[in-house]
Amino acid sequence: MNECYYDKTMEFFYNRTKADTADEWSGPQLVGVLCFGTFFCLFIFISNSLVIAAVVKNKRFHFPFYYLLANLAAADFFAGIAYVFLMFNTGPVSKTLTVNRWFLRQGLLDTSLTASLVNLLVIAVERHMSVMRMKIHSSLTKKRVTFLIISIWAIAIFMGAVPTLGWNCLCDISVCSSLAPIYSRSYLVFWSVLNLVVFFIMVVVYIRIYMYVQRKTNVLSSHTSGSISRRRTPMKLMKTVMTVLGAFVVCWTPGLVVLLLDGLNCTDCGIQNVKRWFLLLALLNSVMNPIIYSYKDDEMWATMKRMICCTSEDKSQERRSSRVPSTVLCRSTDISGHYIEDGIIQGTVCGKGDLGDKGNS
């Protein structure tokens, strides 16, 4: 029967796996990482809080897509909390941590990643169902969206707790990984492959939607006298959403590949030298999301500016009355069953897609 090491500090496991990163996180490198991390985390907290507050405050955002958007912002906000906890429990401090505290540190990171990933997957499925049914907006009820959001966080918390529940190497240190000294290498392989597969599925789904919308737009464009900008409205929506997915894949794939290599016990891959930078790249994703989702949505941007500047909504709406209406102004038409073709032929009612584009304002 294997001996278990629940009562050991992390120094025992770091020394056992010959992981030298704890000693390398010192001096100017550590200061630089902490400075960048602190700045990014502050931006994550502020920007994602504004996104959530905008969805709650503006009744025009009380639709399924924006509820999921707010939940993605909540996942990014949670990621900021995980990174703050990591910053205070990394470097030389890593070796002094107890096993449970180290599990908590990594569990927070795994939970935040899973919450963002599953949320993006739900958005992809929601967009696919809406577009393939020839509808611009989702027909999901608030109850279903609430259930989806609860399910997202339940899955995220469970996946973050899996190593703590037993899939670790505390009782078989011969299978411990190098990057995560108390994680089993088999778990790292499972974790990284699972996430990479989900990435691939989402990319395929969005490519399918993109091609479908492009084909429909090209077919219908010859039957409408509207402007090119209006005829390409559905395509602009997909480009914006795919930008978010692309940023997520770019920011997280390198780190997942490193974990996969560690799980496969690649001792000559130099993974210890790059893991901290890939972690910062993953952090950058939570910074980019509110910019991509919110800044490009004219109504969202206006709502956030009103909250920052404490401007009354009535006065702001008067100033906006002469402008091209925001996409969300058209969301009430979704209930009556308007189709993509109707939106294109009629000039799409609005000058923008679900997320809009500030360039069309």
The per-residue pLDDT for range 149-170, each reduced to its tens digit, is 999 999 999 999 999 998 998 9
- How far apart CA 101 and CA 166 sit, in angstroms, is 15
- How far apart CA 119 and CA 199 sit, in angstroms, is 12
Using 50, 70 and 90 to split pLDDT, how confident is the model at 331? very low
What residue ranges define each of the domains in the chain, with the CATH number in brackets?
Answer: 10-223+234-309 (1.20.1070.10)
Phi, psi of 205 (to 5 degrees): -60, -45
- How far apart CA 224 and CA 324 sit, in angstroms, is 20
**Residue 25 falls in which region: left (phi positive, over 0), alpha (psi -120 to 50) or beta:** beta
Residue 104 has a pLDDT of 94
Both tokens of 306, joined, read 């009103």
Contact by Cβ (8 Å): 120, 244: yes
- How far apart CA 314 and CA 293 sit, in angstroms, is 24
**Rounded to two decimals, what is the model's pTM?**
0.79
Residue 194 has a pLDDT of 93
Q: What's the whole-number average pLDDT of the chain? A: 76
- From the list 115, 221, 110, 116, the residue with the least C-alpha distance to 168 is 110
Instruction: Tell me how crowded residue 100 is: count the other CB atoms within 10 A of its CB.
Output: 11
Contact by Cβ (8 Å): 157, 107: no
Phi, psi of 18 (to 5 degrees): 60, 35
Region 63-89 average pLDDT: 89
